[in-house]
């Protein structure tokens, strides 16, 4: 019987069957059954590196053989930097920046492309507008460049994929207790092992209750994620996972601007708005089923199904204007929004390995089908006089507890959407020689969206329906040259599309139904070098073009012809320099510009030709070190730095750059008890890490400390 707890590389076997195809000798090649997520069970060599992943190609492939920029943040690095949310991880990934997301959702900017929908879990779409925790993550993968061939619509700048912990049969019983600045309290657990020779279980859970350096802020969240693995035969594996997660926190949109910069008189704690009615609750119920079967050691099939139910609401009173330079006042605005979504997707992949002549092939043929239903309802806030959607407050005292009635306006967006999706894709990885590999593939998506207007917004009538069907063809091709095994040079070309209804497909109108999907084209060359088995270096040079962004023509009709371009360089180093020293380092240079005047589907000009793409610093730097002085004591030091960026496409507000220094102290009493102290922003610099618009700018935390004690049994 198979040892469920064994962690070993996948062994390749050459079949003894010889076939004849068009006179060529064909060798059927097979593999022993991989786990459903092989990468989750592959040891992270050196703690900060992994040797391979199956996310980028649908096959278990060494990172150096993948012709695109890939950054993997391991569980060990997540723990060492003290990360609890995705924002903490993103800071250490070159080419990726964090977007404020109105502080009611996760949002990322990858290579200048701003998105709320490019989140994935175990390779499956996870596009609810919610916050995600890292308590059940084995590691986080960032795949840069258009990825539609693997992941479908969107993914214009790249995608973020969480690989979850799984029931692999290894015995674990770990508890983590945390306390820290601003009344931070958190506890999590990870328990699992074999229940029988064929059945394994694991459960991860977390609860956190914390305040913040921001006045009036409070956050409470918790989740539980049991997983099960059943191996009825040596060739078949079945996994089931269920997650319940709830998040409730104060909705805090940050501070406004003044004279083209963040409002300088705002302290890190200053709250702008009405905290009594600003809050954002969300719940997630997610079930996943994965089945994998190996047919006679010749080829295999993997089928994954994911059902997700997201319930989300947010209500906020926030800065609606800049601070007046003469009167030192600003106005507040308010609205609430509910966004509920149910989705079900199935992906089925067939993989066949064989040799034709002297060429090794790994064929993948796959299908994806799914449906998503969404309900969105926005209600603008009306202030005390009952007639206005804004209220003036002094910038010296911007907290207002005045009455706000969320009765809404005729122009508020309220709608229901229904998406039916069907896709088919094929890919071939060819190993022509030991030193030359080619990967090529194409995907066809049918994206069929129906939309019902539930408010008379934008000139539409109540109950009016819209629909749009897009047939999208997304190719990818890459070449890898390996003069020696540890070193590879690659070049790649890939295309992705985003339908005219946008990331969350809730903006369909009579105008946008006529628009072509936005197109993302990426051309990239790079180098990957495994300096040692536990230390990897990579660099990439790319050009990413975005086309068909809606703009207004001379007849005031929106047309899909806006363009932007990002020319970039990314460099990263990760792994173990010596037995005692682990490091990750990253640098990105992104020159992101609009090539034409660009507007939204309603024809409002958002950016002029030559403007910088917002939320995209030209230079970003990151460095994290862990040095174990003795078996008992270790030190950590991190530096995060970036140059200025713009808070909106109009480039009216400059957000200054910053450099933040973090530190850590590690203590290991014995194999069962360890502790770590993380200090964020050691020097207490004042900085602005993210924004949502010109007057919703996040201000960073002053010095903060967190102590974590981990007990394993």
**How far is the CA of 304 from the CAs of 203, 350, 371, 711, in angstroms?**
20, 12, 15, 34
Tokens of 559: 């047309």
pLDDT score, position 22: 34
pLDDT score, position 348: 98
Q: Is the pLDDT of residue 4 over 70?
A: no
Instruction: Return the SS3 of 328.
Output: coil
pLDDT score, position 214: 97
- Report the percentage of the chain scoring pLDDT > 70: 88
Please state the rounded mean pLDDT for residues 658-677: 97
Give the integer Cα–Cα distance in Å for 29 and 360: 9
pLDDT band of 29, cuts 50, 70, 90: very low
pLDDT score, position 124: 96
**Quick check: 292 and 36 in contact, CB under 8 A?**
yes
> Please, which residues bridge with residue 306 across strands?
288, 345
**Quick check: 254 and 696 in contact, CB under 8 A?**
yes
pLDDT score, position 508: 66
pLDDT score, position 40: 37
* DSSP states of 697-710: EE----SEEEEEEE
* CATH for the stretch 12-712: 2.40.170.20
Least confident of 226-230, 277-281, 553-557: 553-557
Count helices and strands (H / E) in the chain.
4, 45
Choose among 537, 473, 639: nearest CA to 69. 537
**Quick check: 588 and 109 in contact, CB under 8 A?**
no
pLDDT digits (tens, 9 = 90+) for 598-638: 876 555 677 889 999 999 999 999 999 999 999 999 999 99
User: Could you tell me which residues come within 8 angstroms of residue 701 by beta carbon, excluding any fewer than 6 positions away?
Assistant: 212, 213, 268, 680, 681
Instruction: Return the SS3 of 435.
Output: coil
pLDDT digits (tens, 9 = 90+) for 69-105: 999 999 999 999 999 899 999 999 999 999 999 999 9
Give the integer Cα–Cα distance in Å for 344 and 332: 39
| 40 φ/ψ angles, rounded to the nearest 5 degrees | -70, -25
pLDDT digits (tens, 9 = 90+) for 378-429: 999 999 777 789 999 999 999 999 999 999 988 888 889 999 999 999 999 9
pLDDT digits (tens, 9 = 90+) for 569-602: 999 999 999 999 999 999 999 999 999 988 765 5
pLDDT score, position 635: 98
User: Could you tell me which residues come within 8 angstroms of residue 485 by beta carbon, excluding any fewer than 6 positions away?
Assistant: none
* Residue predicted with more confidence, 34 or 673: 673
Please state the rounded mean pLDDT for residues 349-353: 95
Question: Taking the domains of the chain in order of start, what are their residue ranges?
Answer: 12-712
Give the integer Cα–Cα distance in Å for 307 and 286: 6
Burial class (CB in 10 A: 0-12, 13-18, 19+), 89: buried
**Quick check: 155 and 145 in contact, CB under 8 A?**
no
pLDDT score, position 297: 73
> In which residue are the tokens 């002094």 written?
394
pLDDT digits (tens, 9 = 90+) for 482-538: 999 999 999 999 999 988 776 766 666 666 676 788 899 999 999 999 999 999 999
Q: Is the pLDDT of residue 38 over 80?
A: no
Burial class (CB in 10 A: 0-12, 13-18, 19+), 613: buried
Instruction: Return the SS3 of 528.
Output: strand
Strands, sheet with 108-110, edge to edge from the N-terminal-most edge strand? 96-98, 108-110, 113-115
pLDDT score, position 709: 98
Strands 158-164 and 119-121: parallel
Average pLDDT, the chain: 89
Give the integer Cα–Cα distance in Å for 652 and 655: 10
Give the integer Cα–Cα distance in Å for 517 and 654: 31
Give the integer Cα–Cα distance in Å for 69 and 528: 9
Interior angle at CA 281, CA 280 and CA 285, nearest 5: 145
pLDDT score, position 607: 85
pLDDT score, position 453: 87
Burial track 406-435 (b if 16+ CB lie within 10 A, e otherwise): bebeeebbbbbbebebebebebebbbeeee
CA 547 to centroid of chain Cα atoms: 23
Instruction: Return the SS3 of 103.
Output: helix
Q: Is the pLDDT of residue 34 over 60?
A: no
Give the integer Cα–Cα distance in Å for 587 and 45: 22
User: Could you tell me which residues come within 8 angstroms of residue 575 by beta carbon, excluding any fewer than 6 positions away?
Assistant: 45, 46, 48, 49, 531, 532, 534, 535, 536, 582, 583, 584
pLDDT digits (tens, 9 = 90+) for 105-130: 999 999 999 988 899 999 999 989 99
**Quick check: 542 and 568 in contact, CB under 8 A?**
yes
Choose among 276, 274, 252, 279: nearest CA to 332. 274
Least confident of 46-60, 67-81, 171-185, 326-340: 46-60
pLDDT digits (tens, 9 = 90+) for 169-226: 999 999 999 999 999 999 999 999 999 999 999 999 999 999 999 999 999 999 999 9
The 3-state secondary structure of 165-228, one letter per residue: CCCCCCCEEEEEEEEECCCEEEEEEEEEEECCCCEEEEEEEEEEEECCCCCCCCEEEEEEEEEE
């Amino acid at each position: 019987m198979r040892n469920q707890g064994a962690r070993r590389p996948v062994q390749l076997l050459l079949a003894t069957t010889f076939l004849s195809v068009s006179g060529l000798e064909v060798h059927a090649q097979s593999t022993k059954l991989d786990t459903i997520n092989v990468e989750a069970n592959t040891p992270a060599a050196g703690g900060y590196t992994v040797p391979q992943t199956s996310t980028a190609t649908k096959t278990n492939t060494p990172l150096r053989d993948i012709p695109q920029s890939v950054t993997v943040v391991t569980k060990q690095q997540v723990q060492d930097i003290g990360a609890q949310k995705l924002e903490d991880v993103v800071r250490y990934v070159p080419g990726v920046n964090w977007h404020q997301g109105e502080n009611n959702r996760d949002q990322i900017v990858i290579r200048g492309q701003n998105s709320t929908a490019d989140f994935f879990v175990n390779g499956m779409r996870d596009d609810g507008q919610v916050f995600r925790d890292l308590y059940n993550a084995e590691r986080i993968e960032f795949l840069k460049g258009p990825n539609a061939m693997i992941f479908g619509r969107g993914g214009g700048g790249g995608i973020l994929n969480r690989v979850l912990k799984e029931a692999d049969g290894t015995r674990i019983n770990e508890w983590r207790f945390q306390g820290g600045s601003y009344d931070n309290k958190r506890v999590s657990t990870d328990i699992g092992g074999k229940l029988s020779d064929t059945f394994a279980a694991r459960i991860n859970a977390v609860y956190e209750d914390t305040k913040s350096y921001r006045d009036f802020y409070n956050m409470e969240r918790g989740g539980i994620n049991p997983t099960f693995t059943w191996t009825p035969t040596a060739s078949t594996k079945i996994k089931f996972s269920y997650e319940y997660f709830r998040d409730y926190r104060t909705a805090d949109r940050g501070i406004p601007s003044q004279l083209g910069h963040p409002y300088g008189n705002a302290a890190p704690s200053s709250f702008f708005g009405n905290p009594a009615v600003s809050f954002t609750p969300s719940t997630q119920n997610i079930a996943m089923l994965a089945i994998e079967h190996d047919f006679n050691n010749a080829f295999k099939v993997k089928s994954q199904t994911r059902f997700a139910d997201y319930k989300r609401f947010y209500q906020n009173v926030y800065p609606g204007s800049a601070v007046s330079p003469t009167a030192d006042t600003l106005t507040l605005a308010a609205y609430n929004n509910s966004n509920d979504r149910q989705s079900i997707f199935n992906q089925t992949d067939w993989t066949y390995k064989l040799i034709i002549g002297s060429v090794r092939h790994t064929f993948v043929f796959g299908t994806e089908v799914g449906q998503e239903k969404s309900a969105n309802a926005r209600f603008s806030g009306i202030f005390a006089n009952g007639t206005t959607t804004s209220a003036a407050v002094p910038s010296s005292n911007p907290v207002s507890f005045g009455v706000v009635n969320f009765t809404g306006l005729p122009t508020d967006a309220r709608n229901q959407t229904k998406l039916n999706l069907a896709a088919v894709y094929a890919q071939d990885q060819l190993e022509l020689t030991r030193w030359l590999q080619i990967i090529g593939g194409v995907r066809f998506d049918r994206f069929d969206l129906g939309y019902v207007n539930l408010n008379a917004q934008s000139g539409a009538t109540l109950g009016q329906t819209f629909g749009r069907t897009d047939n999208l063809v997304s190719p990818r091709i890459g070449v890898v040259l390996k003069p020696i095994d540890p070193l590879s040079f690659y070049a790649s070309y890939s295309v992705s599309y985003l339908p005219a209804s946008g990331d969350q497909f809730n903006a369909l109108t009579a105008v946008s139904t006529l628009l072509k999907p936005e197109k993302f084209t990426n051309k990239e060359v790079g180098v990957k070098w495994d300096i040692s088995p536990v230390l990897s270096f990579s660099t990439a040079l790319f050009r990413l073009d975005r086309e068909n962004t809606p703009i207004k023509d001379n007849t005031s009709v929106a047309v899909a012809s806006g363009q932007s371009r990002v020319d970039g360089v990314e460099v990263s180093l990760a792994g173990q320099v010596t037995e005692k020293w682990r490091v990750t380092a990253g640098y990105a240079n992104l020159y992101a510009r609009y090539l034409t005047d660009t507007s939204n589907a309603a024809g409002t000009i958002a950016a002029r030709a030559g403007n910088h793409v917002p939320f995209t610093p030209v230079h970003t730097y990151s460095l994290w070190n862990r040095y174990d002085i003795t078996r008992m004591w270790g030190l950590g030091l991190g530096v995060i730095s970036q140059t200025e960026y713009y808070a909106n496409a109009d480039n009216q507000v400059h957000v200054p750059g910053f450099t933040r220094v973090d530190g850590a102290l590690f203590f290991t009493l014995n194999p069962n008890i360890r502790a770590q102290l993380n200090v964020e922003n050691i020097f207490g610099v004042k900085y602005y890490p993210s924004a949502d618009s010109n007057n919703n700018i996040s201000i960073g935390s002053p010095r903060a400390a967190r102590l974590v004690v981990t007990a394993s049994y």
